[in-house]
Amino acid sequence: MNRPTVDEEITDTELEAGRIAFARPWHFVKTCVRVDDLPPADRIEIAFAGRSNVGKSSLINALTGQRELARTSNTPGRTQALNIFESDGAPWRLVDMPGYGFAEAPKSQVKQWTSLVHDYLRGRAPLRRLFALIDARHGIKSADETMMNELDNLAVSYQGVLTKADKLKAGDLGKIVEATEVKLRRRRAAHPRLILTSSETGLGIDRLRAEIARLA
Ligand code: GTP
Ligand code: MG
């Protein structure tokens, strides 16, 4: 039977669909420094964006169950391009976006990232949803606001994902979830449901998989 889970909107059937969708090998396709480098628009795209070090690459590894698929690092700004991942038979590809809000980045580099991200968000027809990653310890920062303003302006559908939940106590988690949801609810292109995750413990990963499987 299809019983509702804790999150009333995701059913066990959807969780199972998400599990199956990601239970296949994923591979790195390419690094794109400009939109002309992107693969053909032959399948939908799910993008992961957020400040440097928020855990984008780690989340892609957790979703696919492949620890070394996307490169992770303690050095902010590691992912400086659009990195593309695919799986044979999966109707979507995953796009690891360059991190923003990296204070020490040279100006020229910031400019290049910004124009790449802007070109991608503005002109990429297959982009179905962007997951906006927010560090659960910090909540929405001004660099995130800037990104979300752009997403709202371009009418790119996005959904908030809190990362690194394992770094907080349960009581603090409740507060940050609520505060973040309040902010997201005011935004035009934001999805109402926020997903709380930890790539370290696996919290919320099944839910995120289900959300993605739903989009296919
Ligand atoms: P850039 O590519 O530089 O923009 O960073 P990113 O957003 O891809 O972050 P990445 O996945 O490389 O993770 C940055 C650091 O945070 C790494 O040291 C990860 O191990 C750590 N990290 C990522 N996710 C989690 C998490 O859920 N819990 C904990 N405790 N650490 C995490
Ligand atoms: Mg990265």
What sign has the CA pseudo-torsion 216, 136, 5, 157? Answer: negative
pLDDT at 8: 57
Contact present, 214 and 195 (Cβ < 8 Å): no
Could you give the percent of the chain with pLDDT greater than 90?
75
The finding on whether 81 has its CB within 6 A of some atom of ligand 1 is: no
The finding on whether 58 has its CB within 6 A of some atom of ligand 1 is: yes
Q: Spell out which residues have Cβ within 5 A of ligand 2, the ion.
A: 56-57, 79
Task: Compare 194 and 77 and report the one with higher pLDDT.
Answer: 194
Indicate the pLDDT class of residue 31, thresholds 50, 70 and 90. Answer: very high
Tell how far the Cα of 117 is from the centroid of ligand 1, in angstroms.
20
Task: Kindly tell me if the per-residue pLDDT of 76 is higher than 80.
Answer: no
pLDDT at 75: 67
In ligand 1, the atom with minimum distance to the C-alpha of 61 is 11
Tell how far the Cα of 208 is from the centroid of ligand 2, in angstroms.
18
Tell how far the Cα of 203 is from the centroid of ligand 1, in angstroms.
15
Q: Whole-model pTM?
A: 0.93
Tell how far the Cα of 64 is from the centroid of ligand 2, in angstroms.
15
The finding on whether 74 has its CB within 6 A of some atom of ligand 1 is: yes
pLDDT at 74: 72
Which residue's CA lies nearest to atom 12 of ligand 1?
A: 72
What domains can you pick out in the chain, each with its CATH number? 12-214 (3.40.50.300)
Task: Kindly tell me if the per-residue pLDDT of 56 is higher than 80.
Answer: yes
pLDDT at 9: 80
Average per-residue pLDDT in the chain? 90
> Collapsing DSSP states into helix, strand and coil, what is residue 181?
helix
pLDDT at 77: 58
Tell how far the Cα of 96 is from the centroid of ligand 2, in angstroms.
7
Q: Per-residue pLDDT averaged across 183-205, rounded?
A: 96
The finding on whether 61 has its CB within 6 A of some atom of ligand 1 is: no
User: How far is residue 20's CA from residue 193's CA, in Å, rounded to a whole number?
Assistant: 22
User: Beta-strand (E) ranges in 105-209?
Assistant: 127-135, 158-163, 195-196
Which residue from 104, 72, 81, 73 is spatially nearest to 33, judged by alpha carbons?
Answer: 81
